[in-house]
């Protein structure tokens, strides 16, 4: 391994879709910035609408949190090729539409194409799926991408941390997502067993 490879910053592709839970994607980008991880961001058209509806952020503020930002229709972007090295990809939140596109190998936009690259190159792909209840179709698509190597990560609240705010739950979910990449945010409480009286 060359010296430049040994000192290379981690690089993670982050995709935000229009599913509810935009704050998860925003907090993830903030955490990755604090960890000095190079981020490559793709946002869908509906992600931009959801960000404006659910948060106090404007899409331009969210884009400013990333090192590199790509248009969802730019199929010639560097991250559309397996020759571009990344340490993986997180789609947060991941809509059922995006899940279906990945499951079928549709590659009709840069999010599904970049995800397809992660699977074919055997790189880490984490899908933070947001839907409830789940239909048989959703479950089949989840099983399909899981069998292909993706990790399905529904942001299930960890009530054992006794959260005092939604932010506590978001930070715990973001921390657990980044654990999958061996990145420790140090911003959430971990399970340490039952507290003794």
Q: What integer pLDDT is reported at residue 197 of this predicted model? A: 65
Q: Is residue 98 part of a domain?
A: yes
Q: What integer pLDDT is reported at residue 183 of this predicted model? A: 97
Q: Is residue 185 part of a domain?
A: no
Q: Is residue 168 part of a domain?
A: yes
Tally of structural domains, the chain: 1
Q: What integer pLDDT is reported at residue 60 of this predicted model? A: 98
**Would you say 113 is a known binding-site residue?**
no
Residue that the structure tokens 């479950």 belong to: 139
**Would you say 18 is a known binding-site residue?**
yes
Q: Is residue 5 part of a domain?
A: no
**Would you say 185 is a known binding-site residue?**
no
Cα–Cα distance, 53 to 196 (Å, whole number): 43
Q: Is residue 164 part of a domain?
A: yes
**Would you say 97 is a known binding-site residue?**
yes
**Would you say 49 is a known binding-site residue?**
no
Sheet holding 68-70, edge to edge: 68-70, 38-43, 11-16, 89-94, 125-129, 151-152
- Reply yes or no on whether the pLDDT at 75 is more than 70: yes
Confidence of residue 7 (pLDDT cuts 50, 70, 90): confident
Cα–Cα distance, 79 to 157 (Å, whole number): 31
- Reply yes or no on whether the pLDDT at 28 is more than 60: yes
**Would you say 20 is a known binding-site residue?**
yes
Q: Is residue 189 part of a domain?
A: no
**Would you say 44 is a known binding-site residue?**
yes
Q: What is the residue-averaged pLDDT of the chain?
A: 95
The CATH number of residue 92's host domain is: 3.40.50.1950
- Reply yes or no on whether the pLDDT at 3 is more than 60: no
Q: How confident is the model over 68-75, as a mean pLDDT?
A: 98
> Which pTM value belongs to this model?
0.94
Q: What percent of the chain has pLDDT over 70?
A: 96
Cα–Cα distance, 78 to 82 (Å, whole number): 9
Q: Is residue 193 part of a domain?
A: no
Structure confidence by residue, pLDDT tens digits, 134-154: 999 999 999 999 999 999 999
Residue 118: domain span: 11-180
**Would you say 112 is a known binding-site residue?**
no
Q: Is residue 48 part of a domain?
A: yes
Structure confidence by residue, pLDDT tens digits, 161-185: 999 999 999 999 999 999 999 999 9
**Would you say 39 is a known binding-site residue?**
no
Confidence of residue 1 (pLDDT cuts 50, 70, 90): very low
**Would you say 130 is a known binding-site residue?**
yes
């Amino acid at each position: 391994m060359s010296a430049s490879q040994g000192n290379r910053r981690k690089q993670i592709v982050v995709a935000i879709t229009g599913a509810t839970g935009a704050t998860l994607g925003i907090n993830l980008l903030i955490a990755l910035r604090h960890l000095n991880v190079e981020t490559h961001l793709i946002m869908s058209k509906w992600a931009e609408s959801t960000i404006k509806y659910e948060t106090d952020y404007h899409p331009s503020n969210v884009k400013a949190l990333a090192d590199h930002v790509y248009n969802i229709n730019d199929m010639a972007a560097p991250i559309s090729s397996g020759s571009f090295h990344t340490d993986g990809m997180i789609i947060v939140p991941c809509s059922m539409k995006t899940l279906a596109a990945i499951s079928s190998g549709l590659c009709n936009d840069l999010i599904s194409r970049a995800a397809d690259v992660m699977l074919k190159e055997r790189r880490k792909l984490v899908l933070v799926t947001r839907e409830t209840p789940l239909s048989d179709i959703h479950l089949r698509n989840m099983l399909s991408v899981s069998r292909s190597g993706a990790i399905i990560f529904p942001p299930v609240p960890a009530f054992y941390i006794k959260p005092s705010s939604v932010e506590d739950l978001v930070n715990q979910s973001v921390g657990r997502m980044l654990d999958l990449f061996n990145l420790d945010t140090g911003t959430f409480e971990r399970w340490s067993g039952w507290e003794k009286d």
